Amino acid sequence: MSSSRSRLAYVAVLCVLVFAAVEPGTLLDVWIERALVPSRFAAELARPFGWLESSSVRAAESTLAAEAPALAATSRELLARQAAGALPRDPELARGRGAVHAQVVERKTQRADCVTIQFAPEAPVEVDAPVTHGDHYVGRIDALSRERAGEATLRLVTEKSFRVGAEVEAPDGRKAALVVGGVAPRPSHGADEDERRASADAGLFLAVHAPQDRSITSGVVRVREIEAPGSARSASRPSGGLASLAGGELASLANGFRLGELVRYDVDGVVIFAVRAELDYGAEPYELAVLAPAEQAEAGPPLARDPFAVERWIRARCAVPGEASIGREARRILAGTRDGVEPGAALCVGGQLVGRVETSGPWSASARLAGDPGFRVQVAAALAGSDAPRALGELVALGRDDDDALLFVWRNAIDPPPPGAVAATPAELFTAPGERSVPAGLLLGSTVLPRTRGLHVLRVTQPADGRALGVVQVWRAAIAREEEPEEDEP
């Protein structure tokens, strides 16, 4: 009888654990976490035994702490160069305007043409403010976040209902007004192989509406918003949108920024006008400038997110190292959602990225380290002999080699194929913008970057091994917006 009860209890516990594994984040997880709270104290009591054999760990932590100020200065310089790329290069476009540095932190899956951006919480960002990258127009602010300070939704010019007033200047100097917004269909495929390839590589085309002069078939298209009532701007706004004088003033700040080149082509027998875009709005840009009146914002804005701001980090201890699965790299963090730790958040030591939070409970969290197979992160490279950082996109970890260096898979889609390739270049890898939970500017490590198109495995060496570190910093993904005091009733 007792053995059947034991088997029944065993099966019941097994079912509970299977359910917890299949359905994470449920109330069951919370109760399991509460039941295991005593194990946290047991781990802390056992920590002195780890200190007896962790002299190398303490030395590594001391080295990182000593090098942190220099790394912070290097990182901020790198971020400043990236942010400078968001500002207008044309002196005429920089004159009479202020700019607020912003970064894309989330691309909405349900609304592909709307992205979430972050900027300094105290920055003068308003709804309808134009957003640019360099000399190119990107879109406008659609809404400010009610929950998070320094966040807003950006509508891209590629959105179907988006409209912006523009002007084309033909090669012979003639000018004509038109409206741009949404995506135009690609040119029809030709029967010739070269024509089909050219069509496939043509890139993105923005739709043109109501061209004033159809005899102009080429030329540079720039934003030209009209503030007067009944203009292309006001006529193209969605119903219910703001139509205040401030909105018109903000709209005119975008005048002169490029949209692309006007083209005319055939689509299934119908001739249409379109603008050949000069930006890949689906993948870039991540560094942006939100335009504002000159008296409200300077042209040299502060960084959107300073990766070394003390208030953005949560100090957390790690449980005693140990991983049951062979080949995995994971740690238990002795801090959880009650402390502000969220899934996906970056783990950092002395300015170096060592991992990311995978799941977070009330009192603790599990983290994947940079050497865990499948670990993913957006990366930019500071190339030797080059001033401009280079965005590499996403790296995916394969694990470590025999010398404990990190191995990452990277697809090079930028450099030319092997016949025109450049020699491999030494580079320092840093995190790139594009994710809310990982700030740009954290050091990943050093590598030699292949300069040929194709799939490559990068060997990355880090200053310190995150597998044995006892204390980490966890990135605070967002700062809650302070509630504004309610006005007294008159």
What are the backbone dihedrals phi and psi of residue 383, each rounded to the nearest 5 degrees, phi first?
-80, 145
**CA quadruple 395, 401, 403, 404: dihedral positive or negative?**
positive
Separation of alpha carbons 206 and 185, rounded Å: 9
Going residue by residue through the chain (490 aa), what tens digit of pLDDT does each one get?
A: 466 767 777 667 666 665 555 454 445 555 555 555 555 555 555 555 555 445 555 666 666 677 778 888 888 888 887 777 788 889 999 888 888 989 888 877 677 789 999 888 888 899 999 999 999 999 999 999 988 888 999 999 999 999 999 999 999 999 999 999 999 998 876 544 444 444 444 578 999 999 999 999 999 999 999 754 444 334 444 333 333 323 467 889 999 999 999 999 988 888 999 999 988 776 667 889 999 988 776 655 566 677 888 888 999 988 866 554 566 788 888 999 889 899 999 999 888 999 999 998 888 899 999 999 999 998 988 887 776 778 788 899 999 998 989 999 998 866 665 665 567 889 999 998 888 889 888 999 999 998 887 889 999 998 877 777 788 999 987 666 554 444 444 3
In a domain, 469, yes or no: yes
AA identity, residue 188: S
In a domain, 313, yes or no: yes
DSSP bridge partners of 368: 330, 356
If asked whether residues 134 and 197 sit together in one domain, one would say yes
If asked whether residues 101 and 245 sit together in one domain, one would say yes
Token pair listed for 467: 């597998």
Token pair listed for 217: 């078939």
Separation of alpha carbons 400 and 34, rounded Å: 35
In a domain, 57, yes or no: yes
DSSP bridge partners of 411: 455
Which of residues 246, 265, 293 is at a domain's end?
Answer: 293
Range list of β-strands (E), 338-401: 346-349, 352-360, 365-369, 376-383, 390-400
pLDDT of residue 442: 92
If asked whether residues 108 and 53 sit together in one domain, one would say no
pLDDT of residue 189: 62
What's the first-to-final CA gap in the chain, in angstroms? 77
Task: Return the number of other C-beta atoms located less than 10 Å from residue 130's C-beta.
Answer: 24
If asked whether residues 347 and 458 sit together in one domain, one would say yes
Contact 222, 257 (CB under 8 A): yes
What are the backbone dihedrals phi and psi of residue 179, each rounded to the nearest 5 degrees, phi first?
-120, 135
In a domain, 171, yes or no: yes
If asked whether residues 241 and 157 sit together in one domain, one would say yes
In a domain, 264, yes or no: yes
Provide CB contacts within 8 A for 37, sequence distance 6+. Answer: 363
What are the backbone dihedrals phi and psi of residue 171, each rounded to the nearest 5 degrees, phi first?
-55, -30
* pLDDT tens profile 430-464: 998 888 889 888 999 999 998 887 889 999 998 87
Max CA pair span of the chain: 98
Closest by CA position to 464, among listed 36, 16, 59, 26: 59
If asked whether residues 185 and 50 sit together in one domain, one would say no
Separation of alpha carbons 123 and 104, rounded Å: 16
Provide CB contacts within 8 A for 99, sequence distance 6+. Answer: 86, 87, 88, 132, 289, 290, 291, 292, 297, 298, 299, 301
Q: Could you give the 3-state DSSP secondary structure of residue 230? A: coil
Provide CB contacts within 8 A for 482, sequence distance 6+. Answer: 149
* pLDDT tens profile 380-422: 888 877 767 787 888 999 999 989 899 999 988 666 656 655 6
Place of tokens 């920024």: 257
- Cα Rg, the chain, nearest whole Å: 27
If asked whether residues 129 and 180 sit together in one domain, one would say yes
In a domain, 384, yes or no: yes
Q: What global pTM score does this model have?
A: 0.69
Closest by CA position to 126, among listed 248, 280, 265: 248
If asked whether residues 273 and 392 sit together in one domain, one would say no
pLDDT of residue 82: 77
HSE-up of 147 (CA within 13 Å, CB side)?
4
Our count of domains for the chain comes to 2
CATH of the domain at 123: 2.40.10.340
As a residue count, the chain comes to 490
In a domain, 434, yes or no: yes
Separation of alpha carbons 456 and 57, rounded Å: 32
Which of residues 233, 267, 293 is at a domain's end?
Answer: 293
Q: Could you give the 3-state DSSP secondary structure of residue 204? A: coil
Separation of alpha carbons 142 and 302, rounded Å: 22
Contact 74, 442 (CB under 8 A): no
Which of residues 293, 327, 346 is at a domain's end?
Answer: 293
Give the DSSP per-residue string, 64-93: HHHHHHHHHHHHHHHHHHHHHTTS-SSHHH
If asked whether residues 139 and 190 sit together in one domain, one would say yes
AA identity, residue 317: R
In a domain, 9, yes or no: no
Contact 138, 132 (CB under 8 A): yes
Provide CB contacts within 8 A for 446, sequence distance 6+. Answer: 426, 427, 428, 429, 460, 461
Residue 350's region, left for phi above 0, alpha for psi from -120 to 50, else beta, is left
pLDDT of residue 204: 85
Contact 348, 442 (CB under 8 A): yes
pLDDT of residue 479: 67
If asked whether residues 75 and 110 sit together in one domain, one would say no
pLDDT of residue 19: 56
Provide CB contacts within 8 A for 481, sequence distance 6+. Answer: 145, 146, 147, 148, 149
Separation of alpha carbons 145 and 149, rounded Å: 7
pLDDT of residue 141: 95
Task: Return the number of other C-beta atoms located less than 10 Å from residue 351's C-beta.
Answer: 24
If asked whether residues 321 and 392 sit together in one domain, one would say yes
If asked whether residues 327 and 231 sit together in one domain, one would say no
Contact 24, 356 (CB under 8 A): no
Q: Which domain holds residue 274?
A: 91-293
Chain CA centroid to CA 447, Å: 22
Separation of alpha carbons 154 and 163, rounded Å: 14
